[in-house]
Every structure is written in structure tokens, then in C-alpha cells.
């Protein structure tokens, strides 16, 4: 019986060594900065931002629970005290974007970020200006090269049929005299 156990143990040891050796031969895959497990919404916000950033060659953002908590506090305050009105974001410790949408059942994280990124065609990188009747600051904050962290939150005001989305960025972007990338 003892001999059988040793043979089985040796066989398992050989299988384990072969599995480790095979795994070591695998080609490495591209990795994305990791952080603690994040919610589906947080991942969607991060992915949408990083898609826009990749298009201009800027490094990806990582999700910050600290920024998420700050955005959540402000979004809840705007919902509970201000009926989802636009929040006063300036001056602030962080860079910020917000989206106010009326009459929508839901605003996905992707839709919020895509709305900000839609200003890209109106941004002139060479002169660092925006076309008349457009605001490119929200786009520029999404792709600001020095911003490294992101945290967002949403609030829904059912009675007013509005959704407020707020994202914070650290360090902040939109610094006068500097281009975003």
C-alpha cells in the first residue's frame, strides 16, 4: 500500500512539473494595470476612457476607489439636495467631467464617455483650440496624458427624469498652456 502511495505521489509530481514547464513556455500576453476588483460600471467607465486614450497614444487610466467615493458623494448630494442639477466642480482637487441627461431611462458609462469624446472632431490639436459653439474641455480631460487615475459615479433623479454622471481624474487635466497629449 505504501509503495502504491509513493508511485501515485511521484506520478502527480511529474505531472505537476510538466504542467509548470509547459506554462513557462507560453508567450506572455499584454497586461493592463491591475487594481482591486472593481464593479462592472467601474470597468465600463475605465474601458471607455482607455479606448479614447489609446486612440491618441496616451497610457491607460486605473480605477481609483478614492475618486469613486468622492464622485459618489457629490452625485448623491446633487441627487438628494439639488434635484440632479449640474454640480459646481471648479476649482477642485481633481479634474472632473460631468454629464446631465434628461428623459433617458439609463445612461451607461460607455454612453457618458462617448458623449465627451464626441467633442474630439472640434478640437484642433495644433492650436490647442476648440471650434466655435463647442466645448472640448471634457474631451481633453478624458485623454489628458498626465491623469493616471479615474473614479466615477452616477445619480438618477426619477421625478425629474434625469441622470447625472460625474467622473474625477487625478492628477487633474486642462492646464492652461499645456496640450492634453
Query: Which pTM does this prediction carry?
Result: 0.78
Other Cβ atoms less than 10 A from the Cβ of 49: the count is: 28
Question: How far apart (Å, rounded) are the C-alpha atoms in residues 155 and 181?
Answer: 31
Is residue 12 scored above 70 in pLDDT?
Answer: no
Kindly list the structural domains of the chain, giving each domain's residue range(s) and its CATH number in brackets, ordered by start.
40-170 (3.40.33.10)
Q: Which of 86, 90, 87, 52 is nearest to 176 (CA)?
A: 90
For 78-136, how does the pLDDT look when each residue is reduced to its tens digit (9 = 90+)? 999 998 888 888 778 999 999 999 986 689 999 999 999 999 999 999 999 999 999 99
Q: Which of 71, 75, 58 is nearest to 147 (CA)?
A: 58
Q: Three cell numbers at 133? A: 459653439
The H-assigned helical ranges of the chain are 2-25, 40-55, 65-82, 109-117, 137-142
Q: Which of 8, 52, 26 is nearest to 140 (CA)?
A: 52
> 154: helix, coil or strand?
strand
Amino acid at each position: 500500500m505504501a509503495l502504491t502511495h509513493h508511485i501515485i505521489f511521484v506520478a502527480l509530481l511529474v505531472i505537476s512539473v510538466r504542467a509548470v514547464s509547459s506554462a513557462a513556455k507560453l508567450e506572455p500576453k499584454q497586461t493592463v494595470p491591475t487594481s482591486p476588483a472593481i464593479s462592472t460600471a467601474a470597468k465600463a467607465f475605465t474601458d471607455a476612457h482607455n479606448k479614447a486614450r489609446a486612440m491618441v497614444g496616451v497610457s491607460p487610466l486605473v480605477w481609483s476607489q478614492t475618486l469613486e467615493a468622492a464622485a459618489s458623494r457629490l452625485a448623491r448630494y446633487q441627487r438628494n439636495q439639488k434635484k440632479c442639477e449640474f454640480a459646481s466642480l471648479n476649482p477642485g482637487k481633481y479634474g472632473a467631467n460631468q454629464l446631465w441627461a434628461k428623459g433617458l431611462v439609463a445612461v451607461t458609462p460607455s454612453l457618458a464617455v462617448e458623449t465627451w469624446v464626441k467633442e474630439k472632431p472640434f478640437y484642433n490639436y495644433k492650436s490647442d483650440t476648440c471650434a466655435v459653439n463647442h466645448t472640448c474641455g471634457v474631451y481633453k480631460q478624458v485623454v489628458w496624458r498626465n491623469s493616471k487615475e479615474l473614479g466615477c459615479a452616477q445619480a438618477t433623479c426619477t421625478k425629474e427624469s434625469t441622470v447625472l454622471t460625474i467622473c474625477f481624474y487625478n492628477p487633474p487635466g486642462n492646464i492652461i498652456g499645456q496640450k492634453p497629449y
